[in-house]
């Protein structure tokens, strides 16, 4: 049965105990980035997004045309040091949310490119924060549950500082970023928090090894069959919730360099499919899973994230699944996406 780290309803006003004047968001056109953009627009907080090149494919699923046109954007390569430093300086931001990176399949196929973007790009972001001379008060960056090894590596729940031996280049790149973040705090006082989501699901999450749950929801909305390519234990985090967690961490991570587990809803892929069938009975039998579990242990502890945020945003699973299916149906009806 699926369960969560805490039975807490989503609270859009959480985490506002300190003021961030403006955010700088790398990877703002990606899935989590687009949801952060949506949430910051809703609350009226200014931001600049930084991406390699214009691409509104995901943003158009969450924003109106007028909202997209109003965005402040800077385009450039995150792996080029001077480009990142200049963009951060021009933005006038006081906090960074760093999401730009390549997923597991790309890192496996081209590890040199993966390291260039995921490791060098992250170093560039921290260097830009260091050179801001205190204007950037915090960096919230995307680590990943992929830093965690398979279940046989552990005995009991996995806490934030448990030693890890990931099984992918991507996981080691993220682990390297966590270590470098600690050195930037140790040597330069750059405060940060890295978040380790497991399987993120919702509108816009359609790339990467763990995107199967999202694709299953899209197929459900379209009345189509779909097979998730993995099974067994997993942690499921809704896109809107992880967006709010990044925003909250960027506001509250004023000291230290934390690497924080993200639990979301814990269960199995089979459990997730059962909830889909409860929400959308017509989908019964059309969504399946096959293959073994992801090579990442799923019994993890979220105490550190809870201590930092106070309340961890967590939308009830059935509500988030229903919301995602309804959003997909609306996007199909309006012609933004094709079934």
User: Looking at the predicted structure, is the pLDDT value of residue 111 above 50?
Assistant: yes
Q: Which pLDDT score, from 0 to 100, does residue 234 have?
A: 94
Mean of the per-residue pLDDT values for the chain? 93
- Contact of 204 with 215, CB cutoff 8 Å: no
Q: What is the mean pLDDT of residues 126-138?
A: 96
Q: What is the mean pLDDT of residues 124-128?
A: 98
User: Looking at the predicted structure, is the pLDDT value of residue 15 above 80?
Assistant: no
User: Looking at the predicted structure, is the pLDDT value of residue 261 above 60?
Assistant: yes
- Contact of 5 with 278, CB cutoff 8 Å: no
- Contact of 286 with 225, CB cutoff 8 Å: yes
Q: Which pLDDT score, from 0 to 100, does residue 334 have?
A: 96
Q: Which pLDDT score, from 0 to 100, does residue 9 have?
A: 36
Q: What is the mean pLDDT of residues 108-116?
A: 98
CATH architecture of 19-333: 3-Layer(aba) Sandwich (3.40)
Q: Which pLDDT score, from 0 to 100, does residue 156 have?
A: 84
Q: Which pLDDT score, from 0 to 100, does residue 20 have?
A: 64
> DSSP string covering 303-330, please?
HHHHHHHSS-----HHHHHHHHHHHHHH
Model confidence pTM above 0.75: yes
Instruction: Give the model's confidence band at 19: pLDDT under 50 very low, under 70 low, under 90 confident, else very high.
Output: low
Buried b (16+ CB within 10 A) or exposed e, 20-53: beebbbbbbbbbbbbbbbbbbbeeebebbbbbee
Q: pLDDT (tens digit, 9 = 90+) per residue, 157-189?
A: 999 999 999 999 999 999 999 999 999 999 999
Q: Which pLDDT score, from 0 to 100, does residue 209 have?
A: 84
User: Looking at the predicted structure, is the pLDDT value of residue 11 above 70?
Assistant: no
Instruction: Give the model's confidence band at 18: pLDDT under 50 very low, under 70 low, under 90 confident, else very high.
Output: very low
Domain assignments of the chain as residue spans, ordered by start: 19-333
Q: Which pLDDT score, from 0 to 100, does residue 21 have?
A: 83
Measure the CA–CA gap between 49 and 98, rounded to whole angstroms: 10
């Amino acid at each position: 049965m699926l369960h969560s780290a805490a039975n807490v309803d989503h609270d859009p006003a959480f985490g506002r105990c300190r003021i961030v004047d403006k955010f700088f968001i790398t990877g703002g056109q990606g899935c989590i980035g687009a949801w952060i953009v949506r949430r910051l627009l809703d609350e009226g907080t200014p931001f600049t997004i930084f991406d390699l090149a214009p691409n509104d494919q995901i943003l158009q699923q969450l924003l109106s045309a007028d909202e997209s046109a109003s965005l402040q954007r800077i385009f450039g390569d995150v792996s080029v040091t001077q480009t990142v430093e200049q963009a951060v300086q021009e933005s006038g931001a006081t906090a960074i949310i760093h999401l730009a990176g390549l997923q597991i399949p790309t890192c496996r196929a081209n590890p040199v490119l993966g390291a260039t973007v995921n490791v060098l790009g992250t170093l560039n972001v921290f260097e830009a924060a260091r050179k801001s001379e205190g204007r950037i008060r915090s960096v919230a960056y995307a680590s990943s549950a992929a830093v965690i090894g398979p279940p046989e590596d552990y005995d009991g729940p996995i806490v934030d500082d448990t030693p890890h031996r990931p099984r992918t280049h991507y996981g080691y790149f993220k682990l390297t970023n966590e270590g470098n973040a600690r050195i930037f705090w140790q040597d330069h006082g750059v405060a940060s928090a890295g978040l380790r989501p497991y399987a993120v699901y919702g509108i816009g999450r359609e790339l990467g090894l763990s995107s199967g749950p999202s694709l299953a929801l899209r197929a459900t909305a379209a009345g189509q069959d779909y097979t998730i390519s993995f099974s067994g234990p997993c942690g499921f985090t809704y896109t809107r919730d992880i967006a709010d967690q990044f925003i909250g961490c960027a506001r509250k991570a004023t000291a230290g360099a934390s690497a924080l587990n993200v639990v979301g809803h814990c269960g199995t892929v089979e459990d997730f499919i059962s909830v889909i069938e409860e929400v959308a009975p017509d989908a019964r039998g059309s969504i399946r899973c096959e293959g073994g579990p992801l090579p990442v242990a799923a019994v993890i502890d979220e105490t550190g994230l809870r201590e930092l945020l106070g309340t961890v945003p967590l939308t009830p699973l059935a509500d988030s699944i229903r919301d995602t299916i309804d959003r997909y149906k609306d996007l199909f009806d309006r012609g933004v996406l094709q079934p």
